[in-house]
Structure 1
Amino acid sequence: MTDLSALTRLCPPPTSPPPTDWESVEGALGRTLPIDYKRIIDAYGSGSFCGFLRLYQPHASTEWVDIAGPMPTVIRRQLEEDRAQQKNPVPYDPQLLIAIGVTDNGEYLFWVTDPEDSPDQWTIAVNEARGPRWFTYDGTLTQFLIALLAKAVNVPMFPESLQALDPFFQPDL
């Protein structure tokens, strides 16, 4: 069973999300994106997991959750400022981080893009909203979502109530 199959069994996707022209998206970003991320977006489209976690994606409902929109750059600049001012220590070089999602509480999810030329090996980092804590998951985005939704991993800055929910995906209307 593939990781995407495990994710869709655990948390069924909506029917027929709109297709994405990945070649143009990656061209606009100037980088190749992880295959598992593209498969998640192709399967689920725009929306949120458990009404809490939203992935940035191409052609999102607003520019603030569009992976090619301003938000990933704005977040990286803030991390660079925090690191330069030694405020809320960032455990990674901000240049290695690409914001890929946000929670309703304001935590950001990142790819740790090391090695940069191997996107399918990128791992996941989460930073605390308005705080110094970081959580790192040594696996792909799909593996992180499976572990989170199956309650096999507990992200310390996520609310405990998330652990009590049955997994669901809420598509944007």
Structure 2
Amino acid sequence: MDDFAGTQTPVRRLTDPTEAIAALELAVPGLASLRLPAPAVINWPALEAGLGVNLPADYKLLCEIYPPFVIGDFLGVGAPTPGCEDAWVQGTREELETIADWCKEADLTVPLHPYPAPGGLLPWAGSTQGDFFLWTTSPADPREWTVTVASRSSVWWHYTGGAVQFLAELVGGVLEPWALPRLCAEVAAF
């Protein structure tokens, strides 16, 4: 049995991080009220050196202008705390161990592997139910990375847009939430 639900593709991929944030703010109107008074100063070079890879600009912008938040009391998007980038890298490495186990257990026609394997999966968000929202780290340019969803119910699927656009389209009802609940647009900082 194959646990792969399929691939969803945006009508138009949003490559400008500001445009992706605007789409998310439109889908989640309360998000704008959580904006930080000043952008967080995250040491991205140190964090990315610790991970061994550069991260997508839309995600970095999201982390700089918003605190960690949860959408629909389900999907949590964390962010590195300035000055604690090493702890964030360590937490990501620990999540990669769990993802490695999930990849081994998944019954997928095309096997998936955690980062740092070529094109490996790297977590960027999670759910309160234990689902993972991951980047597929291929091709080499992070602006072109796509999203892979690994649900707790063992259903995996892909979205060929970026992380912030994924959030906007998932909450906005554009995407079929395969193996995930439909999300309401309520948002809260955590």
TM-score by length of 1: 0.79
Match of 2:4 in 1: none
- In the alignment, the residues of structure 1 paired with residue 97 and residue 89 of structure 2 have an alpha-carbon distance, to the nearest angstrom, of 12
| TM-score, length basis structure 2 | 0.73
Q: Which letter maps to 2:43?
A: D
Task: Give secondary structure in 2 for the equivalent of 1:126.
Answer: strand
Residues of 2 paired with 1:77 and 1:136: CA distance? 17
Indicate the SS of the match to 1:2.
helix
The 5 A counterparts of 1:1-173 are: 2-11=19-28, 12-13=31-32, 14-16=34-36, 18-59=40-81, 66=88, 68-69=90-91, 70-80=93-103, 82=104, 87-90=105-108, 91-94=110-113, 95=117, 96-115=120-139, 117-129=140-152, 131-160=153-182, 162=183, 165=184, 167-172=185-190
Return the alpha-carbon distance in structure 1 between the equivalents of residues 46 and 148 of structure 2.
26
CA 1:92–1:67: 2 relative to 1, 3 Å: farther
Structure 1's unaligned 5+ residue stretches are none
Aligned mates of 1:66, 1:55 — CA distance in 2: 13
State, as a whole percentage, how many aligned pairs show the same letter.
23
Distance 2:96 2:63 in 1: 20
Deviations 1:51-88 (A, max 9, x none): 2111243239x99x9454143322233135x2xxxx32
Q: Distance in 1 between matches of 2:160 and 2:173?
A: 16
SS in structure 1 of the partner of residue 53 of structure 2: coil
Extract structure 1 runs of 4+ deviating beyond 6 A. none
Q: What root-mean-square deviation, in Å, do the aligned CA atoms of Structure 1 and Structure 2 show?
A: 2.6
Comparing 65-74 and 19-28, the one that deviates more: 65-74
SS in structure 1 of the partner of residue 95 of structure 2: helix
Amino acid at match of 2:24: L
The one-letter amino acid of 1:2's match is E
Q: 1:157 to 1:67 in 2, by over 3 A?
A: farther
Number of matched residues? 159
For structure 2, the residue ranges without an aligned partner over 5 or more in a row are 1-17
